Amino acid sequence: MHRTTTDIRQSIANLKGEIEFRAKLALQHVSGEVLLPDYYKKDEHDRILQERVDATYKKMRELAELGIAFCPFLELGAERGQRSLVLTNDFGADGIAIDISWHQLKSMEHFSKLFKREKLPMRICCDANHLPFRSNSFPFAFCYEFLHHFPSVAPITKEIHRVVSGYFYFDEEPFRRLLKLVLYRQKQKIYSNTALRKNKYVNLLESFISEAICDEVEHGIIENNGISLNEWINALTIFDDRNVDLFSINKFRSKLDGRLGISNIPNLLLGGTIAGLCRKQFNPTNNGPLDLNELLGCPDCITPTENGSFDRPSLVKISNAFHCYQCGFNYPCKDGVIFLLPKHELKQLYPTF
């Protein structure tokens, strides 16, 4: 069957590369052992994470002042979980942090102590193409620097829309720059000491005329920095309301509506980052006590719903595993992280687990 550009997904090789890279990253930033010499060392990484913790607190406070409820929340691409730790500890919200990397999720224990936020969210190793949750489970979902790791955005926003019952916030995602002419490939990786010491104006100029290199791409991770604004528009139209901003070189800012407008031209030419708050209209019928386990669903099985869509059957916790009565599989838990990957992915990505 012909596959359109909107349903292209990561290959197993991409996912394996992501897991291998994140495993090295987790060890380097927890132990200080240098496995990636052209990446941030431990001390610098700790400083950057602290800045992200502070920025997350500021943004979530703004969203809270808009009346947005965080409990339960879902963070996609949580990595070491510094942003989920803010919601869990500073805002008292229960929620779930997910990532394809078990190693990064495991490292959250280290960073929770480093940032003195010791209450952990539920941690789940899963694939965003097969979110292992019941539909309409989360009044709030969010991600940073996550959606561009997929060949197309629409399949991921479709799954996010399915599991959200309220708001979805995303930030620090790239969009395509039209004023780009690749004359050469840079010699230094973008996070190397040499690259970081470059004059900021030289870096800016090179971003228009050269191709950057990084450890992520060398490991097979998708870095989809060429997402067009039309693709972003199409991927977000599934939500009922959208408040989306474009940012270019810290000066040019515009709103992205249902179609491109004159105000978007500077951003279209210069490229930059996109952020947005999207809302799904949904009236929950159950306001009972929160049990995060009740939100979990089998990533392999589906059940039809009355409106013609699908849902995922509930899982039941049995000992240290989560059981699906529909397919009979037991999804394991290791070091506090639950594995809810489709069975074929679990076998290939984490064969020893």
DSSP class per residue in 99-136: ES-HHHHHTHHHHHHHTT--PPPEEEE--GGG--B-TT
**CA dist., res. 103 & res. 101, Å (int):** 5
Considering only the top CATH level, what class is 16-174+217-299+338-349? alpha beta
Domain with CATH 3.40.50.150 in the chain: 16-174+217-299+338-349
Q: What is the pLDDT of residue 288?
A: 53
* Tokens linked to 254: 């515009």
Scored b (16 or more CB within 10 A) or e, 192-214 reads beebeeeeeeeeeebbeebebbb
Q: What is the pLDDT of residue 150?
A: 96
Scored b (16 or more CB within 10 A) or e, 68-77 reads bebebbbbbb
Q: Please tell me whether residue 250 adopts helix, strand or coil conformation.
A: coil
pLDDT tens column, 74-102: 999 999 999 999 999 999 999 999 999 99
**CA dist., res. 102 & res. 97, Å (int):** 11
Q: Which residues pair with 272 in a beta bridge?
A: 175
Instruction: Show the beta-strand stretches assigned E in 205-309.
Output: 210-213, 241-248, 252-255, 272-279, 303-304
Closest CA to 193 of 46, 31, 37: 37
Scored b (16 or more CB within 10 A) or e, 317-328 reads eeeeebbbebee
pLDDT tier, 307 (very low <50, low <70, confident <90, very high otherwise): confident
pLDDT tens column, 193-250: 888 899 989 999 999 999 999 999 999 999 999 999 999 999 999 999 999 999 999 7
Q: Are 242 and 278 in contact (CB under 8 A)?
A: yes
